[in-house]
Amino acid sequence: MKVRLHQYLSRTGRFASKREVKEAVWSGDITVAGSVIKDIAFQFNANTKAVHWRGERLHLPGLHRTYVLNKPEGVICSRLNRQERALGKRSVFELLRDVVDDSTYDRMLTVGRLDEATTGLLILTTDGQLVHQIASPENKVAKTYAVRTTPRIEASDAAKLREGVVIELEENGVLRPYQTQPANVALEADGTVFITISEGKKRQVRRMFASLGVEVIDLHRCSIGGLHLDALRLERGASVEMDERLLRQSIFHE
């Protein structure tokens, strides 16, 4: 649903009067989707287009809902199709079914995906702009995973991951080699590997370890940017609603 720019700005609570709203627009301080707008009656979809005032992202109270989830094993990051329902699959969206209304539930998106067997930090939101900002390869948001493998990797293997390894990616049914970007890697005494990457190809972490000739037996996402799952103290399958501004501050250190 479209809204007029002056109405949107008034509802943000950022301006003390309608006069301040008009002056902000007329002075060229307001951008919508990256373009300066000087027409106070300009209409746009506030669900899909970001509004900034002098570089500051503006938000409507209650416009979007954003949750952080500690994803358990055995759930998939998509809406279920008929075949998946017949197989008894479960979706991450179902974990929020009792805490959001129907409209919010239908609009929820995952920020990237974790495969069915992978656990850990997952963000779900109704804000498509937030999804793009975090998931876009251009922004290179770092993601850290705790990995256990069989057999354990050696220091020489960790060195290969730090330099980048060649994995196989499938595009339109065709496999092609891909050189991963350098990763930050730390080996723990118990064999756990903490790996941080800033890209997100499909099943990339599993493919990176497969290139070393080892199998990933446990994969858990610990953090996205500066947002750390441990700090939220969430049990597996539990979620918490977060203010989007605080979420952005945590992830992007804004």
Please determine, for residue 3, whether its predicted confidence score (pLDDT) is greater than 90. no
Please determine, for residue 254, whether its predicted confidence score (pLDDT) is greater than 70. no
What's the pLDDT at 1? 57
Please determine, for residue 62, whether its predicted confidence score (pLDDT) is greater than 80. no
What are 177-202's pLDDT values in tens digits? 999 999 999 999 999 999 999 998 99
**Active-site hit among 39, 101, 102, 115:** 115
What pTM, to 2 d.p., does this model score? 0.77
To the query of whether residue 243 is one of the catalytic residues in this protein, the response is no
Domains of the chain: 2-58 (3.10.290.10), 66-137+236-252 (3.30.70.580), 142-224 (3.30.70.1560)
Q: Which helix (H) or strand (E) holds 244?
A: helix 244-252
- Name the nearest CA neighbour of 222 among 89, 78, 71, 63: 71
